[in-house]
């Protein structure tokens, strides 16, 4: 879908960001049969903002979508069909401007999934929560990660070392 939300917005803080109505993404979480908790991240391609960095799948919110719907739609476009059933464990909103925000939902899935589905994604991998800090993360995702990891740990009953 390339509708009314796709485009750059000059935000109230003077910065230009993608998503005329804001943007949204999803951190997918999975617990294996052995209890290991992993999160899915995508490696952004050179064609995307901060190419080569790791982040969650996401993008512009379209008119009529809520952030979760937008994040799930974007994820299916970028990393493939999301396995069901899903369990939503909360969301974190990064709002650097009065007229723009990025909402990241934490969603548990029944099995790992994901491949590069378009030009925006070079790779898709599942990482333990403890591995994420060592990655070259997209600056926006790095800023949100401390809040997101708290949601992941609370939802999955785990703590990082």
What is the domain-level CATH number for residue 33?
3.90.79.10
Q: What is the pLDDT of residues 73-98, one digit of tens each?
A: 999 999 999 999 999 999 999 999 99
pLDDT band, very low/low/confident/very high, at 1 (cuts 50, 70, 90): very low
Closest CA to 18 of 37, 52, 44: 44
Q: What backbone torsions phi and psi does residue 153 show, to the nearest 5 degrees? A: -65, -40
Contact of 69 with 150, CB cutoff 8 Å: no
Tell me the per-residue pLDDT of 104-131, one tens digit each, with 9 for 90 and over.
999 999 999 999 988 889 999 999 999 9
Q: Is residue 99 part of a domain?
A: yes
Q: Would residue 160 count as lying in a domain?
A: no
Answer whether residue 28 is part of any domain.
yes
Predicted confidence band of residue 15 (pLDDT cuts 50, 70, 90):
very high
Residue 1 inside a domain? The answer is no
Q: What are 102's strand-pairing partners?
A: 23, 94
Q: How many CB atoms lie within 10 A of CB 96?
A: 14
> Is 110 a member of any domain?
yes
User: Into how many domains does the chain fold?
Assistant: 1
Does residue 45 belong to any structural domain of this protein? yes
Q: Is the pLDDT of residue 59 over 90?
A: yes
% of the chain beyond a pLDDT of 70: 96
Q: Is the pLDDT of residue 51 over 90?
A: no
Domain encompassing residue 78: 8-155
Torsion angles phi and psi, residue 70, rounded to 5: -65, -45
Does 78 fall in a domain?
A: yes
Confidence at 3, pLDDT banded by 50, 70, 90: low
* Cβ atoms of residues 108 and 29 within 8 Å: yes
- Is residue 161 in some structural domain? no
Identify the pLDDT of residue 48.
82
- Quote the CA–CA distance of 30 and 110 in Å, as a whole number: 6
C-beta atoms surrounding 31 within 10 Å: 16
**What pLDDT sits at residue 88?**
97
**Mean pLDDT of all residues belonging to the chain:** 93
């Amino acid at each position: 879908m390339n509708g009314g939300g796709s485009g750059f917005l000059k935000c109230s803080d003077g910065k230009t960001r993608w998503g005329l109505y804001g943007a949204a993404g999803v951190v997918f979480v999975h617990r294996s049969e052995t209890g290991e908790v992993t999160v899915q991240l995508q490696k952004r391609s050179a064609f995307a903002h901060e190419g080569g960095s790791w982040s969650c799948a996401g993008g512009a919110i379209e008119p009529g979508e809520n952030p979760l719907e937008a994040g799930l739609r974007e994820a299916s476009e970028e990393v493939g069909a999301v396995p069901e059933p899903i369990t939503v464990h909360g969301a974190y909103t990064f709002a650097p401007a009065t007229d723009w925000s990025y909402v990241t939902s934490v969603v548990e899935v029944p099995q790992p999934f994901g491949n590069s589905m378009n030009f925006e994604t070079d790779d898709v991998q599942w990482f333990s929560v403890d591995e994420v800090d060592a990655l070259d993360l997209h600056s926006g995702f790095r800023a949100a990660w401390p809040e997101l990891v708290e949601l992941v740990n609370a939802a999955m009953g785990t703590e990082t070392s």
